[in-house]
Amino acid sequence: MNPTFKHDKNLFVCNLLLIILLALLPSRSQGAIQCYQCHGSSTGSDYRPIDAASRNYSTGGFAGNHRSHMAAPANPNTCRKCHNNQNYTSNHRNGFINFSSNINSSPLKGKYINGGSQVYSKVHSATPVLGTCSSVNCHFETVTPQWGTSIFTASTDCDKCHGAPPNGGATSGAAGSHAKHALYYPGTTNCQKCHSNNNSFQHATSAGKRNLNISFAAAPNNGSGAYSGSLNDYLPSQTNVFGNCTATYCHSPGNKASNFDPPAVVPAWDGPALTCKGCHKSNNASADVMASGSHSRHVSAAKFYTINCNKCHAATVNSTMTITDPAAHVNARVNIKFSSSSSAVNGTYGGQATPYAKDPGSAYGQCNNVYCHSNAQNDGGVGVTYRQPTWGNPASGACGTCHGTTHHGGSEMASGSHTRHLTASAYTGSTKCIVCHNVGNIPFAGSCNNSCHNATSKHTDNKVDILFPSNFGASAAYNGTPRPGDGYSNCSNVSCHFNTATPVWGTAIPIDCVGCHTLAVLLTSGSHAKHISASAIPTMYNYTANRSTAAEYNFGCSNCHPLNAANHWKGTVNVTLKKDEAGAGTLRAKNSATTIGIGIANSGITGTTKVSVICSASYCHSNGNAAALVYAVTPNWYGGTFTGDRCANCHGNAPNTTVAGSASHYNNRFLGYTGTAGGHQIGNHAMSIYSSPGGLSHAGTNGKSSHGNGAIATTISCNICHYATITTARNDNNAACKTCHYTGNTVGALDGNPADIADKSKHVNGLVNVVFKPTSILSKAQMRPASFTTAPYSSAWNRNAGYKGSGSYDSAKTTLDTAAMWDGPSKTCSNIACHNGQSVRWTDNNGVTTCVSCHTSL
C-alpha cells in the first residue's frame, strides 16, 4: 500500500472520529477547546502555529512562517488577516485550509497564489506545496518568497519589499529623491535620518494603513524639520504625491547648528537635484554667489575675485563644483581643507592644520601661512611673510594689508627696487603697479584699469607675475622665474629702460641716463646720431642745453622731449616743441609750437611715435631770421634725410634760393630799384661791372672776369661773414650756382666742393654768428681814376694793375676784422672796404640803403 495513501487514510479516519465525538458532546462544551491546542502552543496560550518542515501532530507544527508573521501570543483575530477565520467553530476541521480573498485587507487586494493563480481554499496536507503572496501591503505589494522559506531579517532584507532605497521600480516604491540622499547617507541604518527605526513586523503589516513614518530626530537635524507632503499614499499602487522639507539642517545654508536658516530653494522630494546655490549659494559662475563671512570677497567677480570653492574646501568639492566626498558635506560641520594645488596648501585655519572641521555658526578663525594673504616675497627675493586675516573681518584682509600700497592705505612697498620705481613713477595710485604687474592683461591707457581686480587676474596665484602692458614693449620680459622667494633677476626690452637690459632688481646703485640710453642703442634710434654727440650723452632728464662742438651736434634731450619727468618712461616716446613751457631753453623758446603732442593743432609735430615723426615748428630747422622766421618741414625722424641743396632745405642758400631770409642777403629791390636783384652775393656789383672798352664784365676765369677769378675778385658767399660757421666759398648744390658750376661747363666754373659746416657749435645755436673771414676783399668794381683819388675810395682801397684792364683790380687796405668792423647789437658794419668805409646797418634795405650810402661822392 502507498504510504502516503495509508497516512492520508489514517488521517481521514482520525478526523472523522473526532467530528463524531465532538458532535455527541453537549453544545456548551464546544468552546472548551482552543485554537492553540491544535495548531499553536498550550504553553503560554500562544495561538501562533509552530513553524515546522511538515505537519507535526505531537507539537502542533505546520509548514510555513506563521510565528514570524504574528506577534505572540496572538489571538484568533490575528489569523483572520490571512485565513478569513471569523466565527470558526470546531467544525472548521474539514480537511481544508481557507485563505482570505484579500490578504491583510491590502489596498491592492492581496492574494495567496498557488499553482499560478489565487486560491481561496486548499486541501490540507502534511507535506503541502506552499505558495506565495502577491500585492499584499505587508510586502509593499511585491511577490513574496515561497511560504516557509527563510524569514527576512531587519535591516539586511529591507530591499526585499520596497528597495533600499526605493528606486521607482514597479514594486520598489517611488524613487523620489532617495538615490540622491543615499549618496550622502548610504545603508539602511541611515534611513533613520528621515524615518523612525522601522524594524518591527508591525511596520510591514500596517503599511498602507497608517501614515508614512517621517522623523528628523537623528543628526544632523536633531529633531528639527517638517515634511509637507501626503503621508498616506506611499504604496506603489497609490498616487505618491510628494511634498517639501523645511527647517532641516540638510537643506540650510549650513551656517548654524540649530534654528536653521531656510535654503535659497525649498527642496521638493521629487524635484530636480539642487545645485550648490540651492542651499547656500555658490561660486561666481553660478550667478548667485555666497555672501556669508568673507565669501563674496573671494568668489564674486563684483568684488574682483573668482576663487573657486575647492581652493579652501578641497575635501568636499573639486574644481568643477562636483561633490567629491559626501561624507564631508551635509555633516553638520564646516570642512576646511586647502587644495594641494593651491598657494594655500600648507595653510592653517583658526590655528589648526587642514583638513579641519568647525561647528557651523561658531566664531570665525584666522587664515595663516597662505600665499594669497602674504607680502608675495621678502626683500632680497628670499622667503615670504604671511598675514593673518580673520574670516568675516574685511579690514583684516583689505588691500594694502598684504604687501603695501598707498592706494589702499598702508606704507608703499619697499622691497627690491620698488621704492625707486614708485617714487619716480609718473603715475599715481595703483596705476604705478600696473606698469610691471598688468596681471589682468588689460590694455593700459595710463590710469587704473582694474588689472589687479579682474576675473582673468593672476593676482594671488602663488607667482610674482611680471607682465608688462604692450605699451611698454611688445617683447618686454622679466628674465627671472615667477616663483616667490626665488631671488631677483633683470628685465629686457622694456621701453621705459629704452629696451636695454636693466640692472638686477634690487641693485643698490641707482641707474642713470646711460643705464637706459646707452650710446650704442641711442645712436641707432631714429635720427639721434645727427643730433647728439657720438661720445657723450646727457646725464639729466630736463637737459635743454646745446653742447655742440665744432665736430658734432649735441643738443640736450629736452629740446625735443618734455621737461617734466612725469612724462618720462611712460611707454611712449613723448616729443614736444612747445616754446613757452617752463624751463625751456633758448633754442626751444624760438620754436613756433604752442601745444604739446603729436598731431595736435599748433604742436608742430605730425606722424606716429616710433613710425614716422615730422616737425614743422622747430627753430633748429628754420631760416634763422629772427625778424621773419620761416620754419622748414623736416624729413621723417625715422630714416629720412635732407637731399640736394641741404642748406636751402632750412634757410635758403645764397642767394636766398628757396626759403626767404633777410632781404639784405638778396632781394629784388636792390638799393631801392624795383625789379633790380642784388644783395650780399657773388661779389661787389659782380653782375653790373662795366668793362673797358665797352659793355659789362662777365663771370669767368680771365683777367677781366667780374666773378670766378679769385686773384682779382673775391667771391662773396656765406663764408665771408660767417667764417666761424662755414669756410667753403663754393656750393655746387646751390640751384643758382649750378647754372654755371657744373661738370663740362664752357666758362671754366669749378664743380664740387659742396658747402659744409666747419663748426657745428656755431650753427643752430640760436644766434647769428657774424665772424668775418680775415681776408682782404678784392674787387673788379673799380671807380674811375679821378674819383678814386678822393675819399672815401682811396682811403679804403688800393688800386692794382691799372683801371679796367685785364688783371686790374682794387684790394681793401684793411683785412676784414669782426671786432673792429661789426657791431652786433646795432647790426652795423663800419670801416669796411665793401661799403667804402661807410657805416651801414644790415636791416637798412629795400631802399633805405642806396648808392649814396656808400658812394658819398662820384
C-alpha cell at 619: 627753430
pLDDT on residue 56: 84
Query: How crowded is residue 220: how many other Cβ atoms within 10 Å of its Cβ?
Result: 20
Amino acid identity, residue 69? H
Distance in angstroms (rounded) separating the CA atoms of residues 807 and 496: 68
DSSP three-state, residue 476? coil
Given a cut of 80, whether residue 223 has pLDDT beyond it is yes
Cβ(668)–Cβ(649) under 8 Å?
no
Read off the C-alpha cell for 523. Answer: 645712436
pLDDT of residue 23: 45
Beta-carbon count within 10 A of 74 CB? 20
Whose cell is 481544508? That residue is: 96
Residue whose C-alpha is closest to residue 623's, from 586, 663, 679: 663
| Predicted confidence (pLDDT) at residue 785 exceeds the cutoff of 70 | yes
Is residue 29 scored above 80 in pLDDT?
A: no
Virtual torsion, Cα 390, 391, 392, 396, nearest 10 deg = 30
Q: What share of the chain is helix, strand, coil (3-state, %, to 5)?
A: 20, 10, 65
Strand partners of residue 118? 113
Residue 492 bridge partners (DSSP) = 477
**What average pLDDT does the segment 239-248 reach?**
93
* Confidence tier at 35 by pLDDT (50, 70, 90): confident
CB 353 within 8 A of CB 345: no
Phi and psi dihedrals of 724, rounded to 5? -75, -20
- pLDDT tens per residue across span 663-708: 888 777 777 777 777 788 788 888 788 886 778 888 888 999 988 8
pTM over 0.75? The answer is no
Position 408 confidence tier, pLDDT thresholds 50, 70, 90: low
Confidence at residue 406, expressed as pLDDT on a 0 to 100 scale: 64
Question: Predicted confidence band at 538 (pLDDT cuts at 50, 70, 90)?
Answer: confident
Per-residue cell: 398: 583689505
Which whole number is the average pLDDT over 780-790? 90
> Out of 437-441, 560-564, 692-696, 829-833, which region has the weakest mean confidence (pLDDT)?
692-696
Return the pLDDT at 402. Answer: 85
Query: Rounded to an integer, what distance in angstroms lies between the CA atom of residue 645 and that of residue 656?
Result: 12
Beta carbons of 630 and 592 less than 8 angstroms apart = no
Q: Which of 174-188, 227-241, 417-431 has the lowest mean pLDDT?
A: 417-431
Give the residue extent of every domain in the chain: 34-139
DSSP designation for 4: H
What is the pLDDT at residue 305?
A: 81
pLDDT at residue 405 above 60? yes
Secondary structure (3-state) at 3:
helix
